[in-house]
Amino acid sequence: MLIPRLVNRTVLARPLIRGCPSLPLLYASRAAPLTWQDAPSVRLYSGKRSAKGKRDRSDASPAEAELDEGHRSRGKNEPIDAGALLLDMEKTKSRMEKTVEYLKTEFKTMRLGQASPVLLDSVKVVYQGDTVNLSDIASVSVKDPQTLLVIPSDEEYKKAIEKAIREAQLGLNPISQDTIIKVPIPKPTKEHRDRLLKNAAKAAEKIKNQIRSIRQDTMKDLKKDSRNSKMSSDELRMYEKQVQELTGRYMKNAEGLLLAKTNEVNRH
C-alpha cells in the first residue's frame, strides 16, 4: 500500500489505464473515452445568438484550455488531504490524449484544393468588438468540389464573416452573393503547399510542447507526493518511468500525425 495512513477508501491495486496493465491506480477517477468521427459535409450554426457576452478566451485552442484547466484543478501548492491523493495518472493520460485529438482536428482543416466545411472551422469572427466562432453565426455547406457556401444566421453578420474568412490566412477570397457568401477553393500551388506544410509543422510542435508541459506538471506533483508520503525511491522511479512512457507514446502519436499530413500534401 503506497500511502496507508492517508487513503483508506481508494483502491490502489487495480490497473490504472486500459491497455497499460503495468500502471497502478493512484486515483480512482475515470475519464470518458474519446472518440473521433469524420466531419460531416455540412456545418450548421447553433441558432441565432448574440455575438455579445462571449468569453475572452475564444482564441485559445481546446488543447490549451484543457492544459490550463488541468493545472488549476490539480492545485500547484495544495497540501495533501486525507481524502485524496495528489497524483492522478489517469488525468495525465487524458490531458495528453486530448492534445493529440486536437491536433487531428486541426490537421483536418488543412486541405489542398478540396471543398470541405472543416476548412472554416478555425475561423473567428469579430462582430461589434466581440469574437465568436463562425459556426455560432453561420452554416457552411459544400456547393461543389471547389466551392463552399456560407449562410449567415442574420444578414448583419455578413460583412464581418467575409472579413474574417479573408483574413484567416487560409488563402481564401469569399464572394458576397445576395444573402449568402461563396468561398471558392483555389487549386493548390507550390506556395500553398509550402505554407500548409509549415503550418502543420508549427501545429505539431505546439502540441508536443503542451505534452511536455503536462509531463512537467505530473513530475512536479509526483515529487511532491514522494516528500509527503512513505513512497520509496524505487516507487518514485517506477512512477517517473510510467509518466515518461506516456509522454513518449503521445509524442510519437503527434509525430505520426505530422508525417501522415506531410505525405498527404506531397501526394497532391
Q: Please list, in sequence order, all residues whose beta carbon lies within 8 angstroms of the beta carbon of residue 218, skipping any fewer than 6 positions away.
A: 87, 89, 92, 243
Side-chain half-sphere exposure of 207, counting CA atoms within 13 A: 30
| pLDDT at site 60 | 55
Write down the CATH number for the domain with range 40-60+113-187: 3.30.1360.40
Same CATH fold assignment for domains 15-30+62-76+86-109+190-267 and 40-60+113-187? no
Cβ(211)–Cβ(232) below 8 Å: no
* Residue ranges per structural domain of the chain: 15-30+62-76+86-109+190-267, 40-60+113-187
Cα angle value 114/117/120 (rounded, 5°) = 100
Tell which residue, 257, 152, 253, 149, has the closest CA to residue 200. 257
Q: Which three cell numbers stand for residue 241?
A: 518511468
Q: Looking at the structure, give the CATH architecture of the domain made up of residues 15-30+62-76+86-109+190-267.
A: Orthogonal Bundle (1.10)
Judged by DSSP in three states, 107 sits in helix
| pLDDT at site 89 | 81
Cβ(26)–Cβ(243) below 8 Å: no
Cβ(197)–Cβ(236) below 8 Å: no
Return d(Cα 197, Cα 201) in angstroms, integer.
Answer: 6
Reading the chain (268 residues) residue by residue, the pLDDT tens digits are: 343 333 333 333 333 444 444 443 333 333 333 333 333 344 444 444 444 444 444 445 555 555 555 555 445 445 443 333 445 688 899 999 999 999 998 888 787 777 888 889 889 999 999 999 999 999 999 998 889 999 999 999 999 999 999 999 888 899 999 899 999 988 888 888 888 899 999 999 999 999 999 999 989 888 887 777 777 788 888 888 989 999 999 999 999 999 999 998 888 7
| pLDDT at site 63 | 56
Return d(Cα 112, Cα 132) in angstroms, integer.
Answer: 26
Q: Is the dihedral of CA 207, 212, 215, 220 positive or negative?
A: negative
User: Secondary structure of the chain: what % helix, strand, coil (to 5)?
Assistant: 50, 15, 35
| pLDDT at site 64 | 58
Tell which residue, 158, 80, 146, has the closest CA to residue 116. 146
